[in-house]
Structure 1
């Protein structure tokens, strides 16, 4: 006999719901809510990054009603155990259990909320074109959890997340040796188009000219050397944030709207 389809959730693998012909018509997964949009008078379309199914868009029926079964569980930044029925155009949320209420802690701090919004929008942009990536899911959950706990300054936590998310997606910047010719660094020029740090011979017109300490700061964020990152000069942190923003925009070929808003505040 053939084995029934299985899905992997917080409690391990469990059978998926099957149609009479053996095809899966519902699934259950762990996910973090990235966004929500109103639909009609009482419904909402939620975007959820899941552990095993990638980016999911589903309709939560009646969620905006006062007596909704789901209530605030499907607000952005909530980590949930969600069950969905597979629909023709959009899936339908049928059950939600709260795992960690990140939104409650993040919502009380404007800087943390702003950073989390950029993380969520970036994760959505990366995973829209990427196959299921458990690494991206785990990275986002870890970053949001850190924000919620206030472990590091929000802007540093954001830059560290952006660097790591881009690296997981295959866009790791060179922060020491020349990205073009490999000449040993450090180098005092940075080009998102050419792959990061570049030597004077490879430097294109219009390349950024940060102090090498700013690139050292980014390297510390990328590798998790928080002691060095938090001890960096404020000027280097600001320059580093600008380089990270340019790096993300170049490789995603779009501006992250919430990041643009953050930089204006």
Structure 2
């Protein structure tokens, strides 16, 4: 049975039988992998805690017919403990891994893996507001997948901004001539925040007010829902309350 090594982040897990678990992983080199971790639900398991959601591990896997088999797991990033004890961080992380699961397949890019690991690490360390970390991850993950919104020039004509109308169906900010009736209108602070989140400019993002953050999160959610064709279930539970 062929064996390979890779590092991966645990997206989801599912019980299998009395003691086993199916683990869905986003790996660095092999994209999304579904594997069986045998005996991990027993208290005597050697690596059960290393294969919980939000954990990053160095893995050895054996190739199986339909599911690979995890034979070794060593922790590389122990993020679950810090995330699970904080509800805003937990709900943000849940939305991240659901997004990664929806966006990736066996041929997923290394960039998607690195982005997710970096976002979970940042969440676990409470480096930024969880809602900002989530929105930045969502915009950047969608951009890697080929759906980068424009927050400057008009997405239709290329006319120089600033513009106030955001239309997901047209690719982002658009000039007034292309804005349908009733479209969302954004103030400069919100537009600046969205651009900062996409670029990873945390000096700008961290300095924004709650009103702009609330409006930006709505725009990000609309962008993701439009391109994924159905909403993320986890987004409904994200705690957006201000962090102290």
TM-score scaled by length of structure 2: 0.94
User: Over residues 13-48 of structure 1, what are the superposed CA-to-partner deviations in whole Å (9 max), with x where a residue is unaligned?
Assistant: xxxxxx6xxxxx221100011110111111111111
Kindly state the Cα deviation for residue 264 of structure 1 after the two structures are TM-superposed: 8.8
Q: Structure 2 CA distance, aligned partners of 1:205 and 1:54?
A: 42
Q: Find the residue that maps to 2:183 and give its secondary structure.
A: coil
3-state SS, counterpart of residue 13 of structure 2: strand
* Count of residue pairs brought into register by the alignment: 241
Greater RCO (Cα-Cα under 8 Å, separation 6 or more): 2
The answer as to 2:22 corresponding to 1:62 is no
* Unmatched tracts of structure 2, length 5 or more: none
SS of residue in 1 equivalent to 2:185: coil
User: Is the counterpart of residue 147 in structure 1 residue 105 in structure 2?
Assistant: no
* Match status 1:77 vs 2:77: no
Q: Given the alignment, which residue of 14, 19, 30 partners 1:53?
A: 30
C-alpha distance in structure 1 between counterparts of 2:198 and 2:240, whole Å: 24
SS in structure 1 opposite 2:162? Answer: coil
Normalising by structure 1, what TM-score?
0.87
Q: Which residue of 1 aligns with 2:17?
A: 40
Give the whole-Å Cα distance in 1 for the aligned partners of 2:60 and 2:159.
52
RMSD over aligned CA atoms reads 1.5
In the other structure, the counterpart of 1:234 is: 210
Q: Does 1:258 align with 2:234?
A: yes
Q: Is 1:126 the equivalent of 2:126? A: no
Residue 188 of structure 1 deviates from its aligned partner by: 1.1
Q: Which aligned segments of 4 or more residues in structure 1 are displaced greater than 4 angstroms?
A: none
Greater Rg by CA:
1
In 2: Cα distance, 1:48 partner to 1:91 partner:
11
Aligned pair 1:200/2:176, yes or no? yes
8 Å contact from structure 2 (residues 87, 239) kept in 1: no
